[in-house]
Amino acid sequence: MSIQYQRYKLFSRRSFMLGCGKIGLMGLLGAQMYRLQVIESAKFKTMSDANHIRLIPTPPIRGIIYDRNNNILALNKNNYRVILAKENEAHFEKTIENILNIVELDDDQRKDFLYKVNNQKKQRSIILFDNLSWKDLSSVEVNIPDLPGVYIEVGQTRYYPYNAICAHLIGYVGTVSKEEAPNSSVMFHPDYKIGKNGIEKFFDERLQGIPGYREVEVDAYGNVIQEFSSNPSVPGEDINLALNIKLQDLTYSLLDGKDAAVILMDVNTGEVLAMCSTPSYDPNKFTQGISSDYWKKISSNTHSPLINKTISQQYPPGSVFKIVTAAAIAEAGIDPNTTVHCGGSFWLGNHKFHCWKHEGHGSVNMPSAIQKSCNVYFYTMARRIGFEKIHEVAKKLGLGEKFDLGLIGEVGGILPNRAWKKKRLKQEWHPGDTLNCAIGHGFLATTPMQLAVMTARIASGKMVSPKLTAQYGGLNVKDVDLSEKTLNALRTGMDMVVNKPGGTVFRHKIDNPKHAFAAKTGTAQVVALKHDSVTGKALNDNETWETAHHGWCVGYAPVDSPKFACAVIVEHGGSGSGAAAPVLREVLLKVQEFMES
């Protein structure tokens, strides 16, 4: 009996301990279930929802860029792309294999496709094809059931209808780089592009708009099942430029085949009506990622198609600068009617400075010296007043100034004086420097934009600055700090350049007096001129395009009531009167005819 009791007692104890253990385990399990389902339910619900609820960013529609007359210069076009959502890795390789059997690709395209896919493997979604043709798009759409995770999306791509004609001004957009992107998922959306150059970059914040989002439910393959909520994006702001695309088109056609730049401005407002730099490039090549072949082609082009020569290239102004020297002479108190005898040369010590006309111009005053571009007159007067006075007047007319247009690469040119030479070259200023700079050579360098502004200020007597956007309403522009007597002397000289026999542009005059223009030419030396020791004639050894001098011409029209100013440079054109003046004539004639029509 005692043995049975002991066995019963031992069994009961063990049963009790086992029961307690089971109860303890059930308690722990219950506590864990309570923690998961009650205490931390919100946390795990969120984690669960994240597996099938996705927040999809919706990029805003980029603003449209118009010219002053509402002609579209940059817009958005529908773009069809094929995207693979990598929700199910098991189907990834098979899907890629299937789509390659659907879309026709040659060997190079197939290689590029696989390279692109491999580069995007770590991303949640892969853009398989962008800008797909209707034929291929239809083929993919029909086979969607056999392509897990693949869907077709209608997006936007930037388009520039005028291609190269205004590429340097408008610029282009491109994909956001890692350096440019803040912590925002929308930045990496294929439709989200930012301005990389030109107006697109300068006004990027205004053109961008505000992103939105869609909260959607997706299945295991990434296909959207339903949309829960959305916050629509806000389109970007439209921009109206001062540019007149018809004038821009005309100007661009006049520069066909030339390495050149043209600026056309309204002399009263500073509005830039045309800004051409040739050769140019097609900005549409950049919007979807430029090919290596095209990039190599344009970046290695010695004619610099990527450079906006109107603001980023600086050249010696040549004889165009004589207008500035003339203004300084008058402001120094020398009567514009004071004459100088030109015998073809000017002596400074034992150094002979030549006039371009070796036999000389005879007796010339300021207007006739501008008309005939007489070097000796400006040598003589510059020696009398010194270059510091010329430097002071040049600054008033906009030389040596950056106008902060917002375009990449704008340079300020070089406007030297004693302090500049001492700081830059560690040398003293010499009288010969004054003479060289007085006729636009030496250390001087200017941009076409600066010379257009100079011309506009002389024509209007106002301190106008260039404006890239359309100006509505009156502008309060102060007068340029030059006397009316000085300005009239400059205008008379520029009028005589074109409209009086003996002027350097007389052969290009416009016969209709209401369209008459005033101008000044210049030749920017690429290599120094040599002169015959006996006759004094310039020896032109410039037998190649690369060594030919640049040709300048600046002017305004109409003469009696100026409205438009223009600056033209033709690189390696040989001379201003031969290469640049014909272009300037046509631009100033057409802008007047266009405004009358």
Among 86-90, 107-111, 461-465, 546-550, name the most confident range.
Answer: 461-465
Q: In angstroms, what CA-CA distances link 350 with 432, 436, 442, 528? A: 11, 16, 19, 19
Count of all residues that appear for the chain in the document: 597
What tens digit of pLDDT does each residue of 379-423 get? 999 999 999 999 999 999 999 999 989 899 999 999 999 999 999
Tell me the mean pLDDT in the region 572-594: 95
pLDDT attached to residue 535: 44
Question: What is the H or E stretch that residue 273 is in?
Answer: strand 272-278
Q: Which residues of 463-479 are buried (b: 16+ CB within 10 A; e: fewer)?
A: bbbbbbbbeeeeeebee
Lowest mean pLDDT among 94-98, 207-211, 288-292, 522-526: 288-292
Please indicate whether residue 205 or residue 108 has the higher confidence score (pLDDT): 205
pLDDT of residue 180: 65
Hunting for tokens 């030339």 — which residue is that? 258
Report which listed range, 31-45, 219-233, 528-542, is most confident: 219-233
CA 522/CA 363 separation, integer angstroms: 21
In this model, does residue 536 exceed pLDDT 50? Answer: no
Is 173's pLDDT higher than 90?
A: yes
Per the CB < 8 A criterion, the answer to whether 517 and 498 are in contact is yes
Can you tell me the distance from the alpha carbon of 329 to that of 377, in angstroms, rounded to the nearest whole number?
Answer: 11
What's the rounded mean pLDDT across residues 182-192? 62
User: Which run of H or of E encompasses 520?
Assistant: strand 518-524
Residues 6+ apart with CB under 8 A from 35: none
336, 377 contact by CB (below 8 A): no
Question: Which pLDDT score is estimated for 533?
Answer: 46
**162 C-beta neighbours (distance < 10 Å), count:** 18
Measured CA to CA, the distance from residue 89 to residue 85 in angstroms comes to 10
The answer on pLDDT for 450 being more than 50 is yes
Structure tokens at 289: 């990622």
485 versus 147: the higher-pLDDT residue is 485
Answer whether residue 10 shows pLDDT above 80: no
Residue with tokens 């032109």: 540
pLDDT tens for each residue of 300-338: 999 999 999 999 999 999 999 999 999 999 999 999 999
Residue 394 pLDDT: 97
Instruction: Report the alpha-carbon distance of residue 320 to residue 398 in Å, rounded.
Output: 14
> What is the rounded distance in angstroms from the CA atom of residue 409 to the CA atom of residue 198?
10
What's the chain's average pLDDT?
A: 87
Angle value at C-alpha 410, between 407 and 416, nearest 5 degrees: 160
pLDDT at 241: 97
Which has the closest alpha carbon to 169: 244, 235, 237, 236?
Answer: 244
Residues near 309 by beta carbon (within 8 Å), at least 6 away in sequence: 259, 260, 261, 277, 448, 569, 571
Tell me if 341 sits within 8 A of 504, measured CB to CB: no
> Is the bond preceding residue 279 a cis peptide, omega within 30 degrees?
yes
Say if residue 186's pLDDT is above 60.
Answer: no
Q: Cα(81)–Cα(519) distance, rounded to whole angstroms? A: 54
In angstroms, rounded to a whole number, what is the distance separating the alpha carbons of residues 139 and 144?
9
Q: Are 73 and 166 in contact (CB under 8 A)?
A: yes
pLDDT category at 537 given cuts 50, 70, 90 is very low
The alpha helices in 461-580, defined as continuous H runs, are: 484-499
- The residue with greater pLDDT, 376 or 86, is 376
Whether residue 496 contacts residue 519, with contact meaning beta carbons closer than 8 Å, is answered with no
pLDDT for res 38 = 67
Structural contact between residues 175 and 157, judged by C-beta atoms closer than 8 angstroms: no
Maximum alpha-carbon separation in the chain? 154
Higher pLDDT, 123 or 547: 547
Residue 82 has pLDDT above 90, yes or no: no
Under the phi-then-psi rule, with left for phi > 0, alpha for psi from -120 to 50, and beta for the rest, what region is 322? alpha
CB distance 554 to 452 below 8 Å:
yes
Average pLDDT for residues 263-270, to the nearest whole number?
96
pLDDT at 179: 66
State the Cα–Cα distance between residues 455 and 470, nearest whole angstrom.
20
Joined tokens for residue 262: 């043209």
Of 337, 318, 380, 295, the residue nearest 504 (C-alpha): 318
How would residue 33 be classed by pLDDT, with cut points 50, 70 and 90? confident
Does residue 539 have a pLDDT over 50? Answer: no
> What pLDDT, on the 0 to 100 scale, is given for residue 6?
67
**Position 221 pLDDT exceeds 60:** no
Q: What is the pLDDT of residue 543?
A: 57
Q: Answer yes or no: is pLDDT of 440 > 90.
A: yes
**Closest among 168, 189, 190, 178 to 255, alpha carbons compared:** 168
Pairwise CA distance, residues 376 & 359, whole Å:
12
529 pLDDT higher than 70 = no
Instruction: Dump pLDDT digits (tens) for 112-170.
Output: 778 777 776 666 677 777 777 778 888 888 888 878 878 887 878 899 999 999 999 99
- Lowest-pLDDT range, 152-156, 506-510, 558-562? 152-156
Cα–Cα distance, 87 to 391 (Å, whole number): 69
Stated pTM of the model: 0.83
pLDDT digits (tens, 9 = 90+) for 341-372: 999 999 999 999 999 999 999 999 999 999 99
Going by C-alpha positions, the residue among 308, 264, 271 that lies closest to residue 590 is 264
Side by side, which strands form the sheet with 518-524? 272-278, 260-266, 564-570, 550-557, 518-524
Delineate the domains of the chain, giving CATH numbers in brackets. 54-240 (3.90.1310.10), 245-279+309-596 (3.40.710.10)
Residue among 499, 394, 504, 498 at smallest CA distance from 454: 394
Give the whole-angstrom CA distance, residue 44 versus residue 476: 65
